[in-house]
Structure 1
Amino acid sequence: MIRHVDTAAAEIFEYKEKNPQRYRELIEVGIKIGFGEFPETEGKEILTPDQVRAKYKPKNPDYAALTNAVIEGEVKESAKLTAALLENGTDPTAIVVDALMPGIQTVCEIYDNGDAFVPEILLANDAMVAGVALCQDKLGDMPSAGRVASLVIEGDVHDIGKNIVAAILRANGFEVIDMGRDVLVEDVVDLVKKEKIDLVTGTSLMSTTKEGLRALSEELKASGVPVACGGAAVDDHFVETFTNSIYGKSPLDAVKIAQAVAAGKDWETVRKEMKIGKGQEQEKVKN
C-alpha cells in the first residue's frame, strides 16, 4: 500500500508516543537488519509455493486439472472443467470438496506465506465460485457451514483484508453477510438481534480505530456471538485484554475460528485452541 510520507510519519510518531518501549525494540531490529542480521521467523513452517501446490494436489488427474484452474484464477477453464465432470456423472459434492476447495486452499496458504498477492486470491475465488455455482445448480442449495457477519470497524475504511476473509469463508461453505467498512457497533448489534449469526469478524488497520473491536466484543457478549478480530493494528496481546474475542492473524485462521464456533464451541475454548495451534506450529519450526 502506498501512503503519503507525511501520513506515514504521523503514524510513526503516534506509535512512538504510545508505545515507546516497542518503538525502541523495532528500531533495534531495523538496525540489525541493516547490518544483515535477520530475526528468527515466528509462526508456522513456511513451505515454498511448489510445496504448497503438491500438498493440496488431488491424485485424480481430472480433479487436479480443475484445482490448477482455480489456482491460476482461470474462471472460464474452471467452469468448463466442472461442467465436463458433471456431464460424466461425477458427484457435485466431490467436485467441490476434492477439486475446487484444494485450489482455493492452495492460494490461501501461499498468500499466508507471503508468496501471493490480493488479486491472486480474488481471481482464484472467482474461479472457484464459477465451479461451485454449476455444482449447486446440479445439486440444489448446499447446507451452510454457518453464518458470519463481516465488517471493518467504525472509523476505518481499509477493507481489502475484510474482503479476502469474506471470500475465503464463502469458499469454505459459510454464508457471509458483508456489512462493509466504517461500521457502527450499534449496527452490528442490531443485525445480530435480527439475524441468526454464529460469528462476527471485525478488522482494523489503524491503531486509532482498534478500540472499536473491544466495544463490539463487549456489546455482543450477552448475545453469545463472539468476535474474531484481525487486521494490521491488532495482535493477540491486544485481543486478550477483553472478553468474547478471538484473535486471527490470517484468512485461514478466520476459517478455523468460524468452524469451531459453528460447531458449538465458546469463545474461550476457541481462543485457547488457536493459541495451542500457534504454539505447535512454532515448535515445528524450532525442531
Structure 2
Amino acid sequence: MPWLGIRAECTAEEEFERYLKEYGYSFTKKFEIEVLVGGTWEKFKVYEVLGFVESAAEILAEAFNCPALESGPHLVLGEVSAKLWDEAVKIALPDGKSYVVPVYTYDGFLDLRMPTSKVRGLKGQIIVGGRVFELPLGEEDFQRIMLLDKRVREKLEKAIAIYGYEKVIDRKLLEKLKEEKAGRSREQTVTYEVDWDAGTVLCIVDGKLTSMNLTRFAVLLAQRELYGELEKFVSMLDPDMRREIKEALEEFFNIFKGSLKSPEELKKILEKI
C-alpha cells in the first residue's frame, strides 16, 4: 500500500491528517520510521494511504515547508521478474531537492523482505510453509518453523546464511539458543582412558575418538565445566604434572572466567591443586 509522510517535528498529526483528507486520501495505518537522507537520519510520520501518491511528496514539502515522503509502485527499483528488487521512498525537500532511498529489499527466492541499512523502525517478513512471519523471529514463531517439514526449514537456514542471524532471529532468542547450546555442551560426558607411560589421554568427545596430552585434556574438562571429572583426573596426577596442569588451568581461568557459568567452582579446584 502507498505511503505518504512528513518529518515528525514539522506539524501536528491532526493538521497533517486533515490535509490528507482534504485532498482525498484515506489512511489505514500510521507509524514512524527514520530514513538516512543525505547522510543525516530524519524521523518521519508515515501513513499508509489509499490513492495515487506519485509526486505528492513535493506538494507536501511545499505546503508544510518541511521534508516529506512518498512511496508506492513507482518506486520499485529493479526487475520484479528477476525475483530480487528494492522498494524505495522518495524524500522531497522544500528547496526542490529530492532523494530516493531504498528501504526494503525483496527476495522472491526466499519469499522475504528485509529492511535496508538506510531505514530504522521497519520489520522484515518471511513466508514459510504458507504463513507470514515477522522478522526478526521471536521464540514462538521460531518453534513453529522448527516443527515444519525439513525442506521448509531450509528456507530459514538460507535466509540466515544470506542476511545474518541478527536480522532473522531476535537478539534475545539468539542469546537463549547460544546459552542452551553451551549448556548441552557442558552436560555431555567425556569417556576417556589414560596412558600414563605415553602421557596421553584417549577419549571420546562429541562422539569422536581422539587423543591429546594430559594438560590439554584437563583444559577440555574445564571448558565443559565438568568439574567433578576434573578433580578426579587431577587427583591421579603426580606433583610435577599437577603443577604444569595448574598453570594451564590458571591461564584458562584468567582468560575465560567471564564466559563460564560457574567460575567459582574452577577457582576452588585451582586452590586445592
Could you say whether these structures have the same fold, taking a TM-score greater than 0.5 normalized by the shorter chain as the test?
Answer: no
Structure with bigger helix share is 1
User: Which structure would you say has the larger RCO, counting Cα contacts within 8 Å and 6 or more residues apart?
Assistant: 1
Short-chain TM bin: under 0.3
**TM-score of the aligned structures, taking structure 1 as reference length:** 0.23
| Structure with greater proportional strand content | 2
Which has the greater radius of gyration? 2
